[in-house]
Amino acid sequence: AADSPQAWFVLGQATHALGYAAPGGLDRGRLREAEGHYTRAARLARVHKFSGLEGAIRLNRGKVRHLLGGNGDSDFAAAVELDP
């Protein structure tokens, strides 16, 4: 379903894996796509009050942001707060 945080999370994980293990190195386009899927999943998890799921999503989005050269620290901190 379009409003399922679980579905967007799994899509983010699959895209993240493809972007990370791409032949020839990181596929930054796929990693940016995964970041978007994680962002949508996190928003939906927050709406549905699935804090543990949101924590897992934020942890994975932080990893992607780190791979892209950005800062995932806020996502890592939120993951700990949401799912200690």
pTM higher than the cut 0.85: yes
Percent of the chain with pLDDT over 70: 98
| Between 38 and 22, the higher pLDDT residue | 38
Using the predicted structure, report yes or no on whether residue 35 has a pLDDT greater than 90. Answer: yes
Looking at residue 83, the DSSP 8-state letter turns out to be: -
pLDDT score recorded for residue 83:
73
Using the predicted structure, report yes or no on whether residue 84 has a pLDDT greater than 80. Answer: no
Rounded Cα distance, 54 and 50, in Å? 6
Using the predicted structure, report yes or no on whether residue 67 has a pLDDT greater than 90. Answer: yes
